[in-house]
Amino acid sequence: MAGKSAAFPGPRTESPNVTKETHRLGGIHNDAVNPSMMAPWQDAWQRIRAKLRTEFGDATFDSWLKPLGVLRAEGSKVLISVPTRFMCDWVKTHYLSRITDYWHQETGAAIDVELVVSVQAPSPGMAAAAPPPQVKPNGRPARADGQGEDMDGGDTYSAPLDPRFTFDNFVVGKSNELAHAAARRVSSSTKVQFNPLFLYGGVGLGKTHLMHAIAAEIRARNPERKVLYMSAEKFMYQFIRALRYKDTMAFKEQFRSVDVLMIDDVQFIANKDSTQEEFFHTFNAVIDQHRQVIISGDRSPSDLEGIEDRIKSRLGWGLVADVHPTDYELRVGILQSKLEVMGRDDMPKEVTEFLARKIISNVRELEGALNRVTAYSDLVGRPVTLEMTQEVLQDLIRSNDRRVSIAEIQRHVAEYFNVRLSELLSARRARAVARPRQVAMYLAKQLTSRSLPEIGRKFGGRDHTTVMHAVRRIEELRETDSTLDQDIENLRRTLET
Ligand code: ADP
Ligand code: MG
């Protein structure tokens, strides 16, 4: 940590009386402690933050802008800290000009905003001095010993929690913000607000992570509260075992005094009748005592197959929150956060972006890809490059290749060449429409698994020979017409990400 937070990139010439020591973060913090220095810009910064949030939305703000902190504002210079190099590049290209505009609005002067990479190392007594209180992402004080803590809470029945699955390590984006907010809410309030909370979504999108985070957070806030977390599979296993050993009393007993009951992957009990019966009974008993119940599943309650209707209906009574597949920005954020945790800052930006663009299936696979690449690089003792990444992840990349629809191709091509979609699909033969149409057909052949007749049908009912001709023609043209070749490359890239 200390190594990373060390210094500014170069000597600061604007204040020659500053000793070398102040280049270190500690020194800067000490400067910031001086209230007379903080007051004028701190308000401005809070207003700017509010504007940025309004302009870019909560998800973007939380991922990229919230972690920024003003280290110093002097004269016409503002120095802003960004926790990582990657974020620094990203913020620079995407948001710096807006941030500069807003400073200008606030001060009426031309302001030179400079970003520096530094991990804000909070130290006791610094809280008041660190510019905005939100400076650290998810600025919850870290547990003293970090990992390895016995988070099991001593409950013999509760499954152990993965210490990595905390709220701190959960990156929030558009696709998971509802589920995340709901998870936060149930873990921070002792009042039962919605019962049950039902989290659902496809595999590897963070349901279990959120469940563990809730359990860990509740236990951390109040060790007295009894949280029972288990997978539906374990529920069944225990139940069957209890039946076999005629010990159902003990099995039932464990649920009697829980404050929070969490069952992960409820879809597992589909078609398992006696287990379902027992689950329903348990569920109702806990809810009737006004204790919080949190369930996860791979689909919404009403879509669960092989589960009794009365159970499905009951599962949907509280708050149902879904986790959607990730978008590009969230994937970048997640990679970034994992790299931080791994303590690696040597990952080229193009590799991170490549991974986020290519590994779209789910977060588990994304993490796996990252691990594979870094492990490989360590093994062969060479730094990670884009080439290496492509090589090492060949199989994953192929299976993640996105399915592009013909309609999407048509829309993009029409927009790119500035022709109307209706024209693209019409019978018009004018060159200005005919060429884009051929490009669209070509891309449909390249990027989808549709047959020539199918493609023809989607283009206003054309014959498959027309499509074949278009594909050949564009192949030829790509050899000779570099502009067109570039156009197609551009289109392909946008369509595939
Ligand atoms: P699910 O239970 O939905 O199948 P998991 O919770 O097991 O998925 O998540 C799979 C992996 O992806 C875990 O290692 C988890 O930490 C990680 N993960 C998923 N979503 C996020 C996120 N938003 N931020 C950070 N890590 C995530
Ligand atoms: Mg899971």
Cite the residue boundaries of each domain of the chain with CATH code 3.30.300.180: 18-118
Per-residue pLDDT averaged across 354-374, rounded?
92
**Which fold, 406-496?**
Chromosomal Replication Initiator Protein Dnaa; Chain: A; (1.10.1750)
Residue 437 burial class via C-beta count within 10 angstroms: exposed 0-12, middle 13-18, buried 19 and up = buried
Ligand 1 contacts CB of residue 207 (under 6 A): yes
Q: Which of 209, 221, 306 is nearest to 264 (CA)?
A: 209
pLDDT tens across 292-333, in order? 999 999 999 999 999 999 999 999 999 999 999 899 999 999
Per-residue pLDDT averaged across 53-78, rounded?
81
Per-residue pLDDT averaged across 355-361, rounded?
89
Model confidence at 10, pLDDT cuts 50, 70, 90, reads very low
Sign of the four-CA dihedral 165, 212, 163, 231: negative
Model confidence at 133, pLDDT cuts 50, 70, 90, reads very low
Structure token pair of residue 467:
């499509």
Cβ atoms of 76 and 112 within 8 Å: the answer is yes
Residue with tokens 């402690």: 33
**Which fold, 18-118?**
GMP Synthetase; Chain A, domain 3 (3.30.300)
Per-residue pLDDT averaged across 326-344, rounded?
94
Per-residue pLDDT averaged across 245-264, rounded?
91
Determine the distance separating the centroid of ligand 1 and the alpha carbon of 336, expressed in angstroms: 14
Cite the residue boundaries of each domain of the chain with CATH code 3.40.50.300: 177-323
Q: pLDDT value at position 420?
A: 94
- Check: pTM over 0.85? Answer yes or no: no
Ligand 1 contacts CB of residue 165 (under 6 A): yes
Among 63, 138, 147, 209, name the best residue to mutate to test ligand 1's pocket (greatest count of ligand atoms within 8 A of Cβ): 209
In percent, the amount of the chain with pLDDT more than 70 equals 82
Determine the distance separating the centroid of ligand 1 and the alpha carbon of 261, expressed in angstroms: 21
Cite the residue boundaries of each domain of the chain with CATH code 1.10.1750.10: 406-496
Cite the residue boundaries of each domain of the chain with CATH code 1.10.8.60: 328-403
Residue nearest to atom 5 of ligand 1 (CA): 206
Ligand 1 contacts CB of residue 363 (under 6 A): yes
Q: pLDDT value at position 86?
A: 66
Strands (E), 151-252: 197-201, 227-231
Question: Has residue 79 got a pLDDT over 70?
Answer: yes
Give the neighbor-by-neighbor strand order of the sheet with 112-117: 69-74, 77-82, 112-117
CATH superfamily of 177-323: P-loop containing nucleotide triphosphate hydrolases (3.40.50.300)
**Ligand with the closest atom to the CA of 268:** 2
DSSP state string for 410-424: HHHHHHHTT--HHHH
Atom of ligand 1 nearest to the CA of 296: 2
Determine the distance separating the centroid of ligand 1 and the alpha carbon of 349, expressed in angstroms: 22
Helix, strand and coil percent figures for the chain, each rounded to 5: 55, 10, 35
Q: Which position has the higher pLDDT, 494 or 400?
A: 494
Determine the distance separating the centroid of ligand 1 and the alpha carbon of 366, expressed in angstroms: 10
Model confidence at 3, pLDDT cuts 50, 70, 90, reads very low
Residue with tokens 């019966």: 277
Among 184, 205, 263, name the best residue to mutate to test ligand 1's pocket (greatest count of ligand atoms within 8 A of Cβ): 205
Per-residue pLDDT averaged across 463-484, rounded?
94
Structure token pair of residue 345:
């800052």
Determine the distance separating the centroid of ligand 2 and the alpha carbon of 207, expressed in angstroms: 5
Q: How far, in Å, CA of 269 to CA of 262, rounded? A: 15
DSSP state string for 333-366: HHHHHHHHHHT-----HHHHHHHHHH--S-HHHH
Sign of the four-CA dihedral 453, 458, 459, 462: positive
**Ligand with the closest atom to the CA of 209:** 1
Cβ atoms of 266 and 315 within 8 Å: the answer is yes
Structure token pair of residue 222:
């109040």
Question: Has residue 379 got a pLDDT over 80?
Answer: yes
Question: Has residue 487 got a pLDDT over 50?
Answer: yes
Q: pLDDT value at position 497?
A: 63
**Which fold, 328-403?**
Helicase, Ruva Protein; domain 3 (1.10.8)
Q: pLDDT value at position 402?
A: 64
Average pLDDT, the chain: 82
Determine the distance separating the centroid of ligand 1 and the alpha carbon of 204, expressed in angstroms: 5
Q: pLDDT value at position 135?
A: 28
In percent, the amount of the chain with pLDDT more than 90 equals 57
Q: Which position has the higher pLDDT, 384 or 5?
A: 384
Atom of ligand 1 nearest to the CA of 210: 6
